[in-house]
Amino acid sequence: MFATSFPSADTIESITIVSHKFTRSRKIYHSKQSALKILYMAIHAVSKQWTMPIRHWKQAQSHSAVLYEDRMPELTSK
């Protein structure tokens, strides 16, 4: 159940294609921050196309909260 809640190869490929599309026009970035901003915008753009809910998200979130409680304090404090 935990593994099925994480992105499939199709989802990751979709992000890769969009990020290549966004970064293809510029080969040189003035700073690391500007490159990260472009990638953020690419992921934000592709995420608007995702309309299907994530299967078993609550169980995966709970499992992640147990495994990574130091990284997810807002979920473990409840």
Domain ranges of the chain: 7-47, 54-78
Q: Which pLDDT score is estimated for 6? A: 58
Q: 64: Cβ–Cβ under 8 A, 6 or more apart, which residues?
A: 72, 75
Query: Which positions of the chain have pLDDT values less than 70?
Result: 1-8, 26, 75-78
CA 33 from chain center: how many Å? 18
Q: Which pLDDT score is estimated for 65? A: 84
Q: Which pLDDT score is estimated for 64? A: 84
Cα–Cα distances (Å) from 52 to 12, 38, 47, in that order, read 15, 25, 11
Q: Which pLDDT score is estimated for 5? A: 52
Question: How does 48-59 read in b/e, with b if 16+ C-beta sit within 10 Å?
Answer: eeeeeeeeeeee
